Amino acid sequence: MDKKLFCLAAIFDKVDDITKAAKKVAESEYKFFDVHTPYPVHGLSQKMKLKPSTLGYIALILGLSGAALALLLMYYTKTLNYPQNIGGKPTFALPAFIPITFEVTVLLASVGTVLAMLFIYFKFPNNSHPLHGTEYMDKVSLDKFGLIIEAKDPQFDEFKVKEFLGSLNPEVIMPIYYDPEDLNFKAEIFHPKFMLLLGVVIVLTAGISYILLNKWKQIPPRNWMWEQPRLNVQSSSSFFSDGFGMRTPVPGTVSRGNFPYVYSGLPDTMAKNLINPVLMNEYHLKKGKEHYNTFCSPCHGYFGKGDSRLNNQFPNPPSLHSDKLRNWTDGQIYHVITVGQNIMPSYASQLEPIERWQIVNYIRALQRALNAREEDLNE
């Protein structure tokens, strides 16, 4: 079988020989050459006519980005997103931001430049390079100096290159071939090993996300803060003789703010004469809009047209703009919010009485808005 040639290599014993050889090969017509040394040899870059490294520019760009990133983050968080007064300092306290700006600059510049060098400049990791596993690599990693001319060079001619390398007085000249295994290697998506790796990655990612999102906050020690020697609702307690942790109200008393609704279980007309204690003003309308959008709009729609957002999971309620509803008193609407009607449940547990009245006001405003009278135009 024909082996594919990667390069011709020459090995030198003395550092002076390799510098001389590097100079000669750089002056020759070959462009795809390289020198391998066990340690960096000074002055070899000039002999090889290498251009100065451009890593410094990458470090500069990354460092400036780091400084900008840090300053912008601190400006955004401390001035725009959540301004706090700390010791009377201004929200954009530049002197106090300097240390972190400096640290982030250094962090981004050094980490980024190293990654750029390894993965972009050197195209690492690369353990399947034809030079790996050869006698040549064994020698240049220890105490010899090597020079190669690659076969992909347009001027490459095996005989001529051999002659040229011979003229440099090397210790030995050797051809280096591609590893046939590497050449015939094809990346298969359905390779069992790859599929196994993929499976492991999927299981790990899914498992870790599941634990982080669902279980992380419940597992010790995260829950130590709320597992304290105190009484939790709906749990037993040996402190009281009846064994219940929760207490029942004292007979014949009403707890503050819990005045019972007298018309529950009765038809809406009974509540007709309830008086709306909430003024029709901007504050209450704003509050009413908030509560309406939270609790009512999912079924009744944002404008009370009965355009439910629940995609028929629930039957759509009738419009709030019907004549019937427009002619209801505030008390009747309040009654329906409090005790519910047909399929609509009671909202008494979610909304305080005043909040229900605010919603009533907002519904009134909606009704007025969709049935504007002539005189409204003048305002």
Full DSSP string of 81-105: IS---STT--SS-HHHHHHHHHHHH
DSSP letter (8 states) at residue 341: B
Task: Return the residue of 9, 11, 74, 333 that touches another protein, per CB under 8 A.
Answer: 74
Distance CA 210, CA 311 (A): 29
| Beta-bridge partner residues of 344 | 341
DSSP letter (8 states) at residue 158: H
Task: Return the residue of 7, 22, 161, 274 that touches another protein, per CB under 8 A.
Answer: 22
How many binding residues for another protein (CB under 8 A)? 71
CB of 6 to another protein, least distance (A): 12
Stretch that binds another protein, among 99-107, 178-186, 265-273, 354-362 (CB under 8 A): 99-107
CA-closest candidate to residue 165, choices 22, 288, 283, 37: 22
Task: Return the residue of 26, 117, 168, 280 that touches another protein, per CB under 8 A.
Answer: 117
Site for another protein in 221-250 (CB under 8 A): 221-222, 225
Task: Return the residue of 127, 253, 313, 349 that touches another protein, per CB under 8 A.
Answer: 127
Stretch that binds another protein, among 1-9, 97-105, 338-346, 356-364 (CB under 8 A): 97-105
| Helices and strands: H and E segment counts in the chain | 13, 4
The verdict on 283 binding another protein (CB under 8 A) reads: no
Distance CA 195, CA 200 (A): 9
100 Cβ contact partners less than 8 Å away, ≥ 6 residues apart? 70, 74
Stretch that binds another protein, among 46-54, 231-239, 310-318, 333-341 (CB under 8 A): 46-54
Task: Return the residue of 5, 26, 68, 107 that touches another protein, per CB under 8 A.
Answer: 107
CB of 181 to another protein, least distance (A): 16
The verdict on 126 binding another protein (CB under 8 A) reads: yes
The verdict on 78 binding another protein (CB under 8 A) reads: yes
CA-closest candidate to residue 158, choices 355, 332, 357, 8: 8
Task: Return the residue of 50, 64, 72, 262 that touches another protein, per CB under 8 A.
Answer: 50
The verdict on 81 binding another protein (CB under 8 A) reads: yes
The verdict on 93 binding another protein (CB under 8 A) reads: yes
Using a 10 angstrom Cβ sphere, with 0-12 exposed, 13-18 middle and 19 or more buried, the burial of residue 182 is exposed
Distance CA 21, CA 11 (A): 10
Stretch that binds another protein, among 9-17, 188-196, 282-290, 343-351 (CB under 8 A): 9-17
Site for another protein in 134-153 (CB under 8 A): 137-138, 140-143
Between 146 and 304, whose beta carbon lies closer to another protein?
146
CA-closest candidate to residue 335, choices 284, 288, 273: 273
Stretch that binds another protein, among 80-88, 151-159, 182-190, 349-357 (CB under 8 A): 80-88
Three-state DSSP class for 271?
Answer: helix
195-204, Cβ contacts within 8 angstroms, sequence gap of 24 or more: none
The verdict on 77 binding another protein (CB under 8 A) reads: yes
DSSP letter (8 states) at residue 8: E
DSSP letter (8 states) at residue 211: I
Q: Are 147 and 165 in contact, with CB atoms under 8 Å apart? A: yes
Using a 10 angstrom Cβ sphere, with 0-12 exposed, 13-18 middle and 19 or more buried, the burial of residue 186 is exposed
Site for another protein in 193-222 (CB under 8 A): 221-222
The verdict on 73 binding another protein (CB under 8 A) reads: yes
Q: Give the type of residue at 41.
A: V
CB of 325 to another protein, least distance (A): 39
Q: Are 347 and 340 in contact, with CB atoms under 8 Å apart? A: yes
CB of 194 to another protein, least distance (A): 18
Contact string (CB under 8 A) for another protein, positions 149-178, x = contact: ------------------------------
Between 129 and 162, whose beta carbon lies closer to another protein?
129
